[in-house]
Amino acid sequence: MNLRRALATGVTVAFGGAAAYVAERTVARRWRAPAGAAAAAGRTMPADIRHHFLDVSDGGRIHVTERGDGPAVVFLHGITLGVATWAPEFRALGGRTIAIAWRGHGQSRAGREGYSFERLGADVLEVLRALDVEDAVLVGHSMGGMVAQLLAVEHPEELAHLVRRLVLVATSPGPLPISPLAAFVDLVSSRLLAARERHGRGPLPGGLTIWAARAAFGRRPSAVDVELLRAMLDTMSPGPVAALLPHLLTFDVRDRLEKVELPTTVVSGTRDALTPPRTARAIARRVPGASLTLLEGCGHMVMLERVEELCAALR
C-alpha cells in the first residue's frame, strides 16, 4: 500500500512538474519579442543621450543619462529596473530629461554606506547638484517614489532648491503588502539571493522571471514591454536586491507626509498588484494639496503601459 502511494505521489509530482514546465515554456514563447522589436516600438534610449558617471561622497559611482536642455524632468526607477524603463518618456518629452540609475543597478556602483534609502536619497541630491539642476520635476516610480518621499520629509528645504514638483508613480508611503512576514521574507530571500549571487545567477530562477515580468503589468501588455522587464530582471545582480529588500519591507513615512511642501501628483494603475491603488490614495490623502490620477486597467509599469497619460501629467 505504501509502495502504491509512493508511486502515485511520484507520478503526480512528475505530471505537475511537466505541466509547470510546459506552462512556463508557453508563457515564455508568448511574451518573447523578436530582435529589433524594442527599437521599433521606441523602447530604446534615443541616440543623442549624454552619459555621466558621477562619483558620490561615500565612494560610490552613479550612472546618469541626460538629454536636452532647460528645466529638467528627473526620473528615479524602481528596484531591479533601470534607466531604459524611461525610454518612451525620453522620446516623448521635450526639454531636459535625466534618469538616475540606482547604485547596484546597471553601471552604478555602491560605496561604503551601502544601500539604505537615506543613502539613495543622498545620491539623488549629489547628482542634481553636480548637474546644476534646478526647478525640476522629480518623478519616482515604485522604490524611486519611496526615496522621493523620504527626501521630501527629511530634506524639504534642500529639495525645494532643486525641485518644484513631485510626481509619485505606482509607489507606497509604507511597507509593501508582504511586510507582515517581513522578518521571514527577509531571512529566506536574503539567503537565496546570496546563493544565487555566488553562482553568478540573476535574482530569480529562469522559469520565474517571465512570470514575474508579466505580473508587473495590467491588462494586455505588449510582448516588447514584458521582454524589456524580463531582460532587466535577468541581468540584475542578486546582491543589491538582498541589501535593498529590508528597506522596502520596513519603509514608512505615512505619519510624516503632511510635512511635504512641494506640489505633488500621484499616479497609479487600478490593476497594480505590487503597490495597489489604496497606497496611492493613502499618499494623496496625507500630502497637502496632492492630486491623484488612477489609470484604469494599468498595472505597476505605468511608464511603459501609459506613456501618453504619464507624459501629459509631467507636462
- 176-196 pLDDT, tens digit per residue, is 765 444 444 444 455 666 665
Q: Kindly give the residue spans of alpha helices, DSSP state H, lying in the chain.
A: 2-31, 37-40, 87-92, 117-130, 143-154, 156-162, 182-198, 206-215, 223-235, 238-250, 277-286, 302-305, 307-314
Closest CA to 60 of 138, 131, 119, 117: 119
Q: How many domains does the chain have?
A: 1
The alpha carbon of residue 256 and the mean position of all alpha carbons in its chain are separated, in whole angstroms, by 23
**Which pLDDT value is given to residue 175?**
84
Q: What is the mean pLDDT of residues 72-90?
A: 97
Q: Which residue has the cell 512538474?
A: 17
Sheet containing strand 264-269, strands side by side: 50-55, 61-67, 96-100, 72-76, 136-141, 163-169, 264-269, 291-295
Is residue 138 helix, strand or coil? Answer: strand
Backbone phi, psi, residue 216, to 5° = -80, -10
Q: Would residue 207 count as lying in a domain?
A: yes
Q: Which residue has the cell 505633488?
A: 264
Q: Would residue 276 count as lying in a domain?
A: yes
- Domain containing residue 290: CATH number: 3.40.50.1820
Q: Please, which pLDDT band fits residue 205 given cuts at 50, 70 and 90?
A: low
Q: Would residue 111 count as lying in a domain?
A: yes
Which of 23-27, 87-91, 152-156 has the weakest average pLDDT? 23-27
Q: What is the domain extent for residue 78? A: 37-314
| Under 8 Å between Cβ of 218 and 305 | yes
> pTM of the prediction?
0.85
**Which pLDDT value is given to residue 31?**
54
| Under 8 Å between Cβ of 166 and 148 | yes
CA atoms within 13 A on the CB side of 67: 19
| Under 8 Å between Cβ of 80 and 203 | yes
Q: Please, which pLDDT band fits residue 14 given cuts at 50, 70 and 90?
A: very low
Q: What is the mean pLDDT of residues 280-295?
A: 97
Report the DSSP pairing between strands 264-269 and 163-169: parallel
| Under 8 Å between Cβ of 204 and 212 | yes
d(CA 156, CA 124): 14
Q: What is the pLDDT of residues 22-80, one digit of tens each?
A: 344 444 455 566 667 778 778 899 999 999 999 999 999 999 999 999 999 999 999 99
Q: Would residue 235 count as lying in a domain?
A: yes
d(CA 74, CA 124): 10
Q: Which three cell numbers stand for residue 23?
A: 506552462
Q: Would residue 21 count as lying in a domain?
A: no
